[in-house]
Structure 1
């Protein structure tokens, strides 16, 4: 289905994991795609171009406020417009609470929350200037709703991203810009590969999920494309759990 035919999609953290899956999924849905990441994504660009779509990779650090405007500006120059923006870049260096260094907490906040704010703001300004509205999707987390012993620095940032989308939905609705978030459960990516290297822990985590498995990056593609497309034209300020049912499995 060409849900995003003729549109331009920007994705942060697009070189790997969830961001990469979303970028490729958007291209398969008919969109041109620009990705921003600390690592270049040339192989992804080649895959997208092989699908007959235009693609751009921009490297930088989302924690630096000026990088947001640079990314959006370069994407508009190369691809012409911004229709959909996916704020996905994030880190989670698992750490115990009582001895967590200040720099670990601060870096996590700068990447996950400050980076999301500046990127979303830059994208929204481009959408307003374009006058066509748009869709902004932030990748929050189930961790916005529940705690984690080794995530005391991470969970507040993901709650903040979820809250950012709620407030941005109000601020941007008059411009025809919809703002929503997806809340993944445990998804097998580089962010948690060390934490889940313990086969016993990995099995226990999977056993808590009603659908019986941990998530994969591709599991986020459909929900994100839905929120990006006109199928969700009256959906804004919403949060969609993509967790295999983990959140509701309390008993």
Structure 2
């Protein structure tokens, strides 16, 4: 019960890593507020799982690309659950596309969701934590793509590098308030973002062979590391980045 008595907010949590984190946090004793973009049914089922664990849950709909969504999410979550102890920035998109003919709309939407959305959400959560005066923990889902390139991810990799850098700077800015800021860098995790790309059996087998642990990741593989960084077990950890990739990064040679 690493998060007993705490309240956790997570963005992009109707599916994938966000959903696994929300439910995992409830298993560890947290009340949870989730942000989601459009899938009402999946958001409702996530909250149902949280409540089945005996915790409070609330789902708040909103597009993280809109700066007003951040303030609305934090305000409504605080009203419903009383406070914000942990904030997990997870929402992200990766519409694979070639570099030379990248549509302006695709580039700008990816930046607005992944990087601008992270900035505004983290800022809103941090302001609430400062107001409460009891510190807190912020964890952002970056990516191994913050460290390596991708032919069809020239719009995505800069945003994930930016999220990683944001956590480093926020750790400095917020340390005096007792707020810790860290990031996790997932490797290849089977989520809605890449399910079409990895539907090709040959490509999937190739990816698996590059991973020392011999398998692709699952959303639940991220929940544990995120909960650790959010918990008091990581009380002296801030500005850090934790690779959660089955060893892929060290094997890219």
TM-score interval, smaller chain: over 0.9
The alpha-carbon deviation at position 48 of structure 1 amounts to: 0.6
Aligned to 1:70: 72
Q: Matched residue of 1:96: which SS?
A: coil
The equivalent of 2:175 in structure 1 is 173
**DSSP 3-state at the match of 1:35:** strand
Question: In the aligned structure 1, how far is the partner of 2:24 from the partner of 2:58?
Answer: 15
Structure 1 residue 250: Cα displacement? 3.0
Aligned-partner Cα distance in 2 for 1:109–1:226: 28
Distance 1:89 1:65 in 2: 14
Q: Deviations over 1:7-54 (max 9, x none)?
A: 000000010000000000000000000000103311111111111100
CA distance in 1, matches of 2:80, 2:69: 16
Q: CA deviation at 1:137?
A: 0.2
Partner residue of 1:34?
33
How far apart, in 2, do the equivalents of 1:101 and 1:49 lie?
42
Aligned to 2:83: 81
- Stretches of structure 2 that go unaligned for 5 or more consecutive residues are none
CA distance in 2, matches of 1:46, 1:188: 23
2:154 maps to what in 1? 152
Question: C-alpha distance in 2, partners of 1:106/1:177?
Answer: 30
Corresponding position of 1:112 = 114
Alpha-carbon RMSD across the aligned residues, in angstroms, is: 0.5
> After superposition, what is the alpha-carbon deviation per residue over 1:62-119, rounded to whole angstroms, capped at 9, x for unaligned?
0000100000000000000000000000000000000111110000000000000000
Aligned to 1:115, the other structure's residue is in SS state helix
CA contact (8 A) 2:168 2:181 kept: yes
The count of aligned residue pairs is: 250
Which residue number in structure 1 is paired with residue 22 of structure 2?
23
In structure 1, how many angstroms separate the alpha carbons of the residues matched to 2:48 and 2:245? Answer: 31
| SS of match in other structure, 2:251 | coil
Could you tell me the TM-score, scaled by structure 1's length?
0.99
**Partners of 1:196 and 1:47 in 2: how far apart?**
28
Q: Which residue of 2 aligns with 1:139?
A: 141
SS at match of 1:6: coil
Within 2, Cα distance between the matches of 1:111 and 1:88?
Answer: 10
Question: Is 1:130 matched with 2:132?
Answer: yes
SS at match of 2:139: strand
Measured against aligned partners, the alpha-carbon deviations of 1:154-210 in whole angstroms (never above 9, x if no partner) come to: 000000000000000000000000000000000000000011110000000000000
List 4+ stretches of structure 1 deviating above 3 A: none
Q: Specify the SS of the correspondent of 1:190.
A: coil
**Aligned mates of 2:100, 2:2 — CA distance in 1:** 47
Unpaired stretches in structure 1, ≥5 consecutive residues = none
Deviation at 1:125, TM superposition (A): 0.2
- SS of residue in 2 equivalent to 1:5: coil
